[in-house]
Structure 1
Amino acid sequence: MKRFVLFVFLFLYNLGYAQTISTYEKPPVFKDCDTMAVEQLKSCFNFTLNSFIYENFKVPQIVKDQSYNGDVQILFEVTNTGKFKIIYADAIYDELKTESKRVFDLLPEIAPATYNGNPTFTQYSLSIAIPLTQPVKEDSPSHLVLNDTQKDSLNATLSDELDKLESELKPYEDLEYASQLNIPFTHSYYARFDAEMNAIGTNSHTGAKPFIYSDVARYYDIKAEHKSLEKDTDTWLGRKTFNEHLVEIQGKDYWFTVDPILDLQLGKDTSSDIGSTWNNTRGIFLQAGIGKRFNFTTSVYESQGRFADYFNAYAESLRAFGPDPAIIPGRGIAKGFKENAYDYPVAEAYLSYTPADFLNVQFGHGKNFIGDGYRSLLQSDVASPYPFLKLNTTFWKIKYTSTWMWLKDVRPEVVVDKAFLTKYMANHYLSWNVNKRLNIGLFESVIWEDSNGRGFDVNYLNPIIFFRAIEFQTGQGAGNAILGLSSKYKWNNKVNLYGQFILDEFSLSDVTGGNKSWKNKFGFQVGAKYFNAFKVDNLLLQAEYNQVRPYTYSHNTQTLNYAHFNQPMAHLWGANFREFVLIGRYNYKRWFGDAKMIIGQRGLDYNTDDDSFSYGGDIYRNYNDRQADTGIIIGQGNKTNSFMAELQAGYVLNPTTNLKIFTNILYRDYNPDAVNATTVRNGTLWFNLGIRTDLFNWYNDF
């Protein structure tokens, strides 16, 4: 196989330079050949080289003992300074390859080849016959007679193109930090520059995430932060482990980095009988830039894992059509793996192009988030990745984001020919900095499917239009439109207030009637962030309240609900809930700590044979299955109170790749009024420790 690869390489190389060979002026010249005519130089070079090898090559004893007959294949180069350099050697015995390198190291420097009068490198292939055969000159000094394995084996390839590419390489200058790539979105990492992005008077727009490096660079120097955290190490392994990307390449108009992805965890769910919990993720993460305006990245994950019982039960409740037992929340479909474990591969990638300073276009497979809080009622990143096209337009005090998404309904009842049903989602988000303190955001979204064979409806391609009007024009049952409002007020440079309001359906007469109609489908969020709390640098405290009324995000055409891969596209809990979230985050140099507490109340369905009503929490239920038209309240149905607290602490091994070691402990108390097959009381204490390349948010608070 190696010889085949070598043959193909040489064949393509020589084919590509056929024209060059005919035009170069002079091959390399040994000292003993420099008085000969030009037309004799090639023969003299061949004979001198082969003679040197014959005189100096010592066949290893192990080769002699085996009475071996064969050859050593050599690909070598004479550099533009006249030095011999082996590029590739192939032989059955490693001792032959070692001896070949020793002999080539003995060769003297010679006059290099010239092309158009300038020194250049040449590459040759050579076959050394074993046993050795002495080269023989013919009568004509311009001709060299070689043995059968040597004849025509020296093929010169002349070009300085690869040399030029090599000479253009330079030390990597951390170009990612000024690029149009997204900063991988995790709440804990974004907390590092949240205060600077939200200072009074900044014209930043923090509602649409993930952020682009070049946007954040205006307010916070991530590169300088990482440099300040560098460890003093002189070894390659030390630099790659603690400070740098594994691979860093930069040329004249391009750059790229390559890193391994790890998420290795070991833990214990004290309420479970299945032994330890664990996760084993390996992958690769590539970032690249071509020119100044085009970037792309890809991350590929191969994962197996077994989680706490409540997490496994939720994953299996999301199960898609087909033989696979679960969907890992936020990741994707999982196959069964060994005993009580899952195998769940994931791939994400996108292209980012900035044709003008005011416009960035992204096309890829991933997630998006809208909001300033821990949760989002407009669009969150709790669902599995999906294909998307996104336009970010920034001018004056406005940022306008248009996103088109291709989603999947994976329930068995909508599968056709074993293929998941495709539906489409489009949204607009306009962020306006009204003044130095106040930001207002307007949001609209619509979901539709391929009804009447319309596919991706071009009516929704217009990035500047009101979706509700289009929905009306294309048929009132043809789509599901949602409206939203966000706001943020900078109380001072330490305190930010933020909020969201989501409106799925609204009836003024029912609101003023005071009868708590099911039609009043809306929700809201209010929150506050306290930066450098209590004069402690890098301490962030956050409090947030969310509530969503029953039947919000659902539809009478179930495929038009606000969901993807059996997971909500907004809040993790769907609808019919209220929730209070308290978060603290702290970092000191490479050390970090996070604390989170969530208190919530939800209204679930009873899921029993004698009660088939929808109580408004499951957004995959048809809202026409509701149990009443009026008297609709949050928490109706199987009222479930929940409490969750989580502590995490760790150390960032490599700030450049966000590789960290960590340990965390989670306590969860889940207490429904009625227990059934799908809703059980659960008290969980889950310990974990591990090492992770932190590139996305894990949500385990369902």
Structure 2
Amino acid sequence: MKRIILCFFMFFCVYGFSQNTESYQKSPVFPGCETEPIDNLKVCFNNKINQYIFDNFRVPEIVQEENYQGDIKILFEVDAKGAFKVLYVDAVYESLEAEVKRVFGELPKIAPGTYNGNPTYFQYSISVKIPLVNPQEISNEAYAPAETVHSIADLNETVSKEYDSINNDIVPYEKLEYSSQLNIPFRHTYYARFDGQMNVLGTNSHTAAKPFVYAEVAPYYDFKAEKEFMAKGSDGWWGRKLWDEHLVQVQGKDYWFVIDPIFDLQVGKDTEADFNSTYNNTRGLIVQGGLGKTLNFSTSVYESQGRFAQYFNDYAESLKAFGPDPAIVPGRGIGKSFKDGGYDYPVAEAYLSYAPAKFINVQFGHGKNFIGDGYRSLFQGDAASPHTFFKLNTKFWKIKYTNTWMWLRDVRPEIIEDKSFLTKYMANHYLSWNVSKRLNLGFFESVLWTDTNGRGFDINYLNPIIFFRALEFESGQGAGNAIVGASAKYKWNNKVNLYSQFILDEFSLGAVKGGNKSWKNKFGYQIGVKYFNAFKVDNLLLQLEYNRVRPYTYSHDTVVLNYGHNNQSMAHLWGANFSELVIIGRYNYRRWFADAKFIIGKRGFDYNTEEDSFSYGADIYRNYNERPFDTGVEVGQGITTNSFNAELQTGYIINPVSNLKLFTNISFRNFNPETNSADLANRDTFWFSLGVRTDLFNWYYDF
């Protein structure tokens, strides 16, 4: 403590002495000032340094071309040996900074300044105007650098201008998100706007692995032009923020960020329910931005309370996790009880997106991914809750290669240890190859594993180029669950695309050749077609899709190795043992939009009775060894159930930048099992709702 006090005492003594003994200070002597009296050395130095900058500074071409007018702030030093050193430069253009350093680097050594006869350093701050102004045309005082000698207080005063310079760097927001590495929020409705452009004959685009980043789609679709076309052009601040802009948008040197509120406020009526109304009340915030040209970030937080149609609530409660909370809201997360039959379900999603090179993108975050060109995916869908992931996208030649590693949860009571959910891991590889200007082929493989024998996240599965099936055998029986698949897309012309997927969970050549419909034939397939600008109507998309998955696909005899997360399927939301026909129409005109969807399905459910407790293959969380028979296995076995879902949504986009929508939604659901049970009953639901929503992810109501 004594030493500290002594140091402070000496500092203030020296500082005070320096402030009151100006006659003992001598400024650096610039060439040509040697004959000047001591009192004039400072003025001479000012004149010489400013004239030198004016004579030697070359304004870069880009600055001249853009007719830039402004100031360059420079903090520099003449050290105790008389050498010039640039300490800080504040300029709008990097080329201006480089030119300042070049000019000062060519300055000769001069006679250093002195203090009490001893050489010392002097620091100066100076402002250089662009376009350049001859210092002979203005007064010395107006152009004189501010001098700092020995003074810590004065130096801090000079450096504090750096804070002010940040505000000076702020420029009007240039919509940098639309060329960034940010994900385009995956909404089937919004992706339909540019799906046709990405599938034009001859493009080298890859459309299966979603969500896309803006930089990936920008060559095919002009997001800025879209927003400008839809803009209302309001002059007032409130009008701009409501109709055309982010709530907060800031752009400076090498950074930008935007902030928007999130809303999903809706009210509706379910004719089947015994409660008065359905509702959802979501409030949140999303922050997105970029640092430099290669790093982007996004984070969103949702606080929600909701009560949905009765069938949806029943399904949410059938997904219940271990613990006191009554439900898992499909696609969102665990829901706590809220008032009369409602759920409180907070959700947080975030990710970092980094592109160290043009051909690669790396992401780490908490959210969802999707693989496929259809409404459904048999590889990886987005109907389950958000989860932690690490994703690597590599694009070169005619290939895009997507690697995704995921941390998933099994939340069932029988799996719980020490009141903690079980963590399991999934790794996916998906290779997309544009064979020709019309044909695309995709190859998929996935493996799930758990912390058996304390291996945790098995480093073997970090290899981005490997066949998981072979590695699964090496790790031991029951070490993992490997699934393989293939996809194809054919561009018939610029308006019609055909697409397909095939998933294989287990292959037995003998069972296939036997032709007796063995349970081992665990596979599924998808066939679909898209018709862009259908019947010569701009922005009208028609889509037809058929999905069929055999019983026991995605399940395993080690029940934690099923293809699921949070009691939901990671592929098709119906699990397995179903066939489905999907018919979709989407249309948009400026800010108006309309979607129509019809789904006809055949499903098979378990009886879940004392007399019949077998697994018939729909529930991927059940052990497939609990099957009632080995052969004669057919889609729809068990309690055969026919279902029909019809949904019509129409609305108006309030703000196309934040995707805030005013909408109304009408749906009808008929669920018709051949045999009623405690879990299954014939139900007809008519659900009407309207509201305002920031549309950032897919809601699925067709369970």
TM-score, normalised to structure 2, is 0.79
Could you tell me how far 1:680 is from its partner in structure 2? 1.8
Q: Which residue of 2 aligns with 1:152?
A: none
What letter is aligned with 2:193? R
Provide the rounded CA distance (Å) in 2 between the counterparts of 1:379 and 1:626: 25
Q: Which residue of 1 aligns with 2:542?
A: 541
What letter is aligned with 2:414? E
After TM superposition, the runs of 4+ consecutive aligned structure 1 residues lying more than 3 A away are 21-26, 115-120
Provide the rounded CA distance (Å) in 1 between the counterparts of 2:237 and 2:442: 48
Q: Which residue of 2 aligns with 1:624?
A: 625
**Equivalences for 1:562-601 in 2 at 5 Å?**
562-601=563-602
Could you tell me how far 1:676 is from its partner in structure 2? 1.6
Cα pair distance change 1:24/1:186, threshold 3 Å: farther
**Equivalences for 1:340-419 in 2 at 5 Å?**
340-419=341-420
Q: Which residue of 1 aligns with 2:616?
A: 615
> What is the RMSD of the two structures over their aligned residues, measured on CA atoms?
2.1
State the secondary structure of the residue aligned to 2:256. Answer: strand
Q: Which residue of 2 aligns with 1:428?
A: 429
Contact 1:25 1:117 in 2 (8 A): no
Contact 1:24 1:116 in 2 (8 A): no
Provide the rounded CA distance (Å) in 1 between the counterparts of 2:595 and 2:227: 20
Say whether residues 1:324 and 2:325 are aligned partners: yes
**Equivalences for 1:52-91 in 2 at 5 Å?**
none
What letter is aligned with 2:578? F
Contact 2:645 2:669 in 1 (8 A): yes
Provide the rounded CA distance (Å) in 2 between the counterparts of 1:176 and 1:425: 30
Q: Which residue of 2 aligns with 1:255?
A: 256
State the secondary structure of the residue aligned to 1:274. Answer: coil
Q: Which residue of 2 aligns with 1:206?
A: 207
Cα pair distance change 1:22/1:612, threshold 3 Å: farther
Provide the rounded CA distance (Å) in 2 between the counterparts of 1:470 and 1:365: 27
**Equivalences for 1:613-692 in 2 at 5 Å?**
613-692=614-693
Provide the rounded CA distance (Å) in 1 between the counterparts of 2:517 and 2:380: 26
Cα pair distance change 1:161/1:433, threshold 3 Å: same
- 1:100-159 Cα distance to aligned partner (Å, 9 max, x none): xxxxxxxxxxxxxxx946589xxxxxxxxxxxxxxxxxxxxxxxxxxxxxxxxxxx9552
Q: Which residue of 2 aligns with 1:112?
A: none
- 1:583-606 Cα distance to aligned partner (Å, 9 max, x none): 000000000000000000000001
Q: Which residue of 1 aligns with 2:244?
A: 243
Provide the rounded CA distance (Å) in 2 between the counterparts of 1:416 and 1:214: 44
**Equivalences for 1:86-125 in 2 at 5 Å?**
116=124
Provide the rounded CA distance (Å) in 1 between the counterparts of 2:197 and 2:321: 43
- 1:434-486 Cα distance to aligned partner (Å, 9 max, x none): 00000000000000000111100011000000000100100121000000001
Say whether residues 1:315 and 2:297 are aligned partners: no
What letter is aligned with 1:639? T
Contact 1:443 1:484 in 2 (8 A): yes
Q: Which residue of 1 aligns with 2:85?
A: none
State the secondary structure of the residue aligned to 1:614. Answer: coil
Provide the rounded CA distance (Å) in 2 between the counterparts of 1:253 and 1:453: 44
Contact 1:25 1:116 in 2 (8 A): no
Q: Which residue of 2 aligns with 1:439?
A: 440
Provide the rounded CA distance (Å) in 2 between the counterparts of 1:176 and 1:280: 28
What letter is aligned with 2:329? I
Could you tell me how far 1:232 is from its partner in structure 2? 2.4
**5+ unaligned residues in a row in structure 1: which ranges?**
1-17, 27-79, 81-114, 121-155
Q: Which residue of 1 aligns with 2:511?
A: 510
Provide the rounded CA distance (Å) in 2 between the counterparts of 1:337 and 1:678: 24
Could you tell me how far 1:162 is from its partner in structure 2? 1.1
Q: Which residue of 2 aligns with 1:530?
A: 531
Q: Which residue of 1 aligns with 2:197?
A: 196
Q: Which residue of 1 aligns with 2:277?
A: 276
**Equivalences for 1:162-177 in 2 at 5 Å?**
162-177=163-178
Could you tell me how far 1:222 is from its partner in structure 2? 1.1
Provide the rounded CA distance (Å) in 2 between the counterparts of 1:117 and 1:526: 70
Could you tell me how far 1:22 is from its partner in structure 2? 9.2
TM-score, normalised to structure 1, is 0.79
- 1:607-642 Cα distance to aligned partner (Å, 9 max, x none): 112111000000011000001000000000000000
**5+ unaligned residues in a row in structure 2: which ranges?**
1-11, 21-72, 74-122, 129-155
State the secondary structure of the residue aligned to 2:311. Answer: helix
State the secondary structure of the residue aligned to 1:603. Answer: strand
Cα pair distance change 1:257/1:117, threshold 3 Å: closer
Could you tell me how far 1:269 is from its partner in structure 2? 0.1
Cα pair distance change 1:118/1:266, threshold 3 Å: same
Contact 1:363 1:389 in 2 (8 A): yes
Provide the rounded CA distance (Å) in 1 between the counterparts of 2:307 and 2:531: 36
Q: Which residue of 2 aligns with 1:290?
A: 291
What letter is aligned with 2:229? S
| Count of aligned residue pairs for this structure pair | 565
Provide the rounded CA distance (Å) in 2 between the counterparts of 1:238 and 1:157: 40
Provide the rounded CA distance (Å) in 2 between the counterparts of 1:455 and 1:664: 45
- 1:385-430 Cα distance to aligned partner (Å, 9 max, x none): 0000000000000000000000000000000100000000001000
Contact 1:504 1:553 in 2 (8 A): yes
Cα pair distance change 1:117/1:484, threshold 3 Å: closer
Provide the rounded CA distance (Å) in 1 between the counterparts of 2:184 and 2:126: 47
Cα pair distance change 1:168/1:637, threshold 3 Å: same
Contact 1:179 1:295 in 2 (8 A): yes
State the secondary structure of the residue aligned to 2:560. Answer: helix
Contact 2:233 2:244 in 1 (8 A): no
